[in-house]
A and B are shown apart, each in its own frame.
Chain A
Amino acid sequence: QKEVEQNSGPLSVPEGAIASLNCTYSDRGSQSFFWYRQYSGKSPELIMFIYSNGDKEDGRFTAQLNKASQYVSLLIRDSQPSDSATYLCAVTGDYKLSFGAGTTVTVRA
């Protein structure tokens, strides 16, 4: 079983809509959860992190964490064409950051 699983993409949304990305993880001891964005041909960059159950908002991005369900999500509100990228969920454990396979989001103008 993979350590970090993300909903399969690609995900296509119209401009201005909400993009919803999901991630589950297998290690119940994981404490920290992250979303990275990777544009095509570029390196990943951190956009959000969350440690506590509940929601965390940063601009148009909202991360949601439910440790009991081992589930973390990312909502992108008012999606823009510049949000078109692959979004990688990452989870800490065993002194490393483990990534999911990523969900590719395309925002249609």
Chain B
Amino acid sequence: DTAVSQTPKYLVTQMGNDKSIKCEQNLGHDTMYWYKQDSKKFLKIMFSYNNKELIINETVPNRFSPKSPDKAHLNLHINSLELGDSAVYFCASSGRELDTGELFFGEGSRLTVL
């Protein structure tokens, strides 16, 4: 049983379109995250939710809107896609104590904007 699952794994779309990525974790963790990894492998945090509440928003354009219907799910909706949005988006979760540092990552969703 996959601990953190993301769908879809691949998205190819045109500039200007809107797309969503879904994430679910079955680890019972309180905190979930979205990270963006660009072509140079730099992994940058976008959002963090703790028990459905937004706790980190790292100056991400407001075209990106996360939604957490419950603590096991964190979805990401992107409006008006731009070329620079092409990247791999990773969902992750962690237990109550972030200082353990163990993030459990999903397999990633590779977004290609043409």
| Count class of interface residues, chain B | 20 to 34
**Is the Cβ of B45 less than 8 Å from the Cβ of A97?**
yes
CB distance from A41 to the nearest CB of B (A): 8
Specify the chain B residue showing the minimal Cβ separation from A46. B102
| Count class of interface residues, chain A | 20 to 34
- The contact sample of 14 A-B pairs, CB cut-off 8 A, is A32-B101, A44-B90, A44-B103, A49-B100, A88-B43, A92-B101, A94-B56, A95-B98, A96-B45, A99-B35, A99-B43, A99-B44, A101-B40, A101-B42
How many residue pairs, one in A and one in B, have C-beta atoms under 8 Å apart? 60
**Is the Cβ of A97 less than 8 Å from the Cβ of B42?**
no
Q: Point out the residues of chain B lying under 8 angstroms from A73, CB to CB.
A: none
Contact A31/B41 with A43-B107, A95-B55 known, Cβ cut-off 8 Å = no
Q: Point out residues on B near A: beta carbons under 8 Å.
A: 33, 35, 40-45, 48, 55-56, 58, 90, 94, 98-103, 105-108
Contacting B at CB under 8 A, from A70-94, are 86, 88, 90, 92, 94
**Is the Cβ of A90 less than 8 Å from the Cβ of B101?**
yes
**Is the Cβ of B41 less than 8 Å from the Cβ of A101?**
yes
**Is the Cβ of B98 less than 8 Å from the Cβ of A86?**
no
